[in-house]
A and B are shown apart, each in its own frame.
Chain A
C-alpha cells in the first residue's frame, strides 16, 4: 500500500477532476493532450530514465500507431480494434528488429541513430502520399466504441485516456521495483558491471525498447481516433524533442518526474497564450530557469529536498532522544 500510495492519490485526482468540472476547457480539452503526453513521457522514461538509452525518435512509434489506425480503418475498412492490433504488430516487428543493432550504439551515436529513425518515418508519412495522404494527412477516422458504446464526447475520451495513462504509470512503477527494473538501473550505471553480474544487457535493453515503443503505438492509435485526423507534423522530430524535454524537465529516472514534466510542458503553452508574441520567450525562460537551478529535474529535486528535510528532522529527534 505504502509503495503505491502516490499512485493511488494521483489516480484519485485524475479521475475525480472531470467529475467535478465536466465542462471545463482545461480539464476536458487540454486535459486530453496532457494525458496522452504523460503516457508518452512515462514510456520514454522507461528507456531514457531507467535504462539510460537516449531516444530522439519516440514520436515515430507514436506516429506509426496513429497512421496504422488511420490507414487500416479508412483504406481497408478494418474494425478500429483490429487496426490497433495490426499497428501493434507492425511496431513490435519494427522495434524488435531495430532494437538490437541500434542499442549497440552508445551516447551520441545512439542519439543519431534514433534521430534518423524518427526522420525516416516522418519522411515516409510526408512522401508516401498514396498510402499516408501526404502532408495533408488523413481525416475522417471512425470513433472507437467499447462493447457497442461509442466514445464520442471529450469527457468519455478523457476517461479512456486517463485509464490508459494510469495503466502506463502503474506498469512503469512496477517495472522500476522489479527484477527487470533493477537490471535496467544496473545497465544505466555501467553496462560492463551489469554484464559481470550476469545480466544479458542486450536483451534487457531491447525488451525495454520494444515495450516503450508499444506503449507509444497504442497512445498513437488512441490519439488518432480521438482527433479523427492524422497529419505528419504531429509526429515530427520536434515532437520527439518535446518528449525528451518532458522527461528531463520532470527528472530522469522517475516515473512521476515524467508525469510532472509532461504536465508542465503541455499546460504551460495554454496558460502563456495570453502573452501572445512573448509566449515563446517566456516559455523558454521558464524551462531554462528550471534546468539551471534544478538540474535533476523539477520533481526529483523537490522530492529530494523533502526527503532531506525529513532526514534532518529525524536526526534531530535521534539527537534529542539520546541527549
Chain B
C-alpha cells in the first residue's frame, strides 16, 4: 500500500518533469508589453494601433515567431489617462516583466511614463507625436510617428512656395494642439512668416465663428489650424459659412476619413501634411514605401475595415522591434535597445527610418507628403 502511494507520487512527479522539460525545448518568448488608449477620447488613435499589433503578432507567431522566439503580448487600455498609463507601465515592468514596450498613444501618456522606463531600463517605442519625446534624446525611448515640428516645417515650406507670408493660427486646448502651436510660433520666423492672429478654442466647442470672425478682420493670407478630433472639421465648416476664402492648412492630426465626412464640401481645398499611407495608391511605383503600404492596407482592410495612418505607427514600431531582436539574436533588454538604435533603412508605413544615437525617430522631412483634399478625396501633391 505504502509502496503504491510512492509509485503514484513518483509517476506524477516524473510526468510533470516531462511536461516541464517539453516546454523548455521552445525558446524563451519575447514579451512585448503595450499600453494604448483603446477607449476614451483618443480611441480613434489607440484602436487601430491595438488591432495592428494583434494582427501582426498573430501572424508572426503562426510563422514560428521571431527566430523561434514566440511573441507574448500583454496589453492594457489606458483610456487616454496619464495616471493609468503610469500604473500600467509599472505593471508591465514589475509584474509582467516585459522585454520591450510599445505604446503611449497620446503625447501626454508617453511623457508621463518616460521617467519610469528610463529608470527601469526597458526599451520603449512610443506611438505619440510630440517632439518632446525624443528631443532631448532619452536613452531608452524611441518613437515612430512624425513630430509636430515636422508637420509645422512641412506646412511652412508649402506656404513659402505659394508666397504666403502672413497667417492666422487657430488651435485647440489639448496637448497635441498646444504642442503644435508652440512649434508653429517658434518656427514661423525662420520661414519669414508672420503670425497675425493667434486664436484658441476648446476642443469640445461646437462653434468657432467668434475666433474666425476675428481672423477675417486681419490681413492674414492663410489659416493654419493645428488640432485633431472633430474641432478642425468645425473650423473648416465655419470658415466656409463665413465666406472666408483663404487657403486653410490642417495638421496631420486630421488625416483620417472621418475629417472629410464631418467637414463635407468645406474640406475641399484644405491642405495638410500626412504620412503616405492615405495616398498609397497614388505613389509612383518607384517609391520604396509603396509595396509596404499597400500590403499593410490590404491586410488591415481585409480584417478590420478602413485603414488609418495611426495603426501604421504601430506597424512600424513592431517591426523595428522584431528586426532589432533578430539582429541581437538574444532576448536582452540592453541588446535590443542597442539594435533598435542601429535601425537603418527600415521601410515602414511612416517613411524610411534611419535611427542613430542622436536621433531616436529617424524620419526625415520627406516622410511627410503634402496632401490636398479634392472632391472629398486625398490628393497627393508632392
Contact = CB atoms under 8 A, between A and B. Distances in A.
B174 A135 contact: yes
Given A29-B90, A233-B83, A140 B115 contact: yes
A5 B165 CA distance: 76
A220 B315 CA distance: 39
Nearest to B179: A136
Chain B binding site: helix, strand, loop or mixed by DSSP? helix
Contacts of B81: 233
A234 B82 contact: yes
Contacts of A135: 108, 173-175, 178
A127 B108 CA distance: 15
B130 A136 contact: yes
Chain A binding site: helix, strand, loop or mixed by DSSP? helix
B82 A139 contact: no
A149 interface: no
Interface in A238-287: 270, 273, 276
A140 B138 CA distance: 12
A159 interface: no
Nearest to B90: A29
A28 B90 CA distance: 11
Given A136-B108, A136-B130, A233 B114 contact: no
Nearest to B97: A25
Nearest to A279: B77
A319 B83 CA distance: 58
A229 B108 contact: no
A154 B111 CA distance: 20
A129 B76 contact: no
A25 B88 CA distance: 12
B111 A136 contact: yes
A233 B82 contact: yes
Given A127-B173, A139-B111, A134 B83 contact: no
Contact of B86 (A129, A227, A273): A227
Interface string A120-144: 0000001101000011110110000
Contacts of B108: 135-137, 231, 233
B81 to A, nearest CB: 6
Contact of B82 (A129, A137, A140, A273): A137
A24 to B, nearest CB: 9
B5 interface: no
Given A136-B108, A231-B82, A29 B179 contact: no
A129 B182 CA distance: 11
B175 A134 contact: yes
A228 interface: yes
Nearest to B77: A276
Contacts of A28: 94
Interface in B81-119: 81-83, 86-87, 90-91, 94-95, 107-108, 111-112, 114-115
15 contacts: A25-B91, A29-B90, A29-B91, A33-B87, A134-B175, A135-B173, A135-B175, A136-B111, A136-B178, A136-B179, A139-B114, A228-B115, A229-B86, A231-B83, A273-B76
Given A136-B111, A136-B178, A140-B115, 5 more contacts: A25-B91, A25-B94, A136-B107, A229-B115, A233-B81
A-B interface, 6 closest residue pairs, ranked by CB to CB distance from nearest: A135-B175, A25-B95, A228-B115, A231-B82, A234-B83, A25-B94
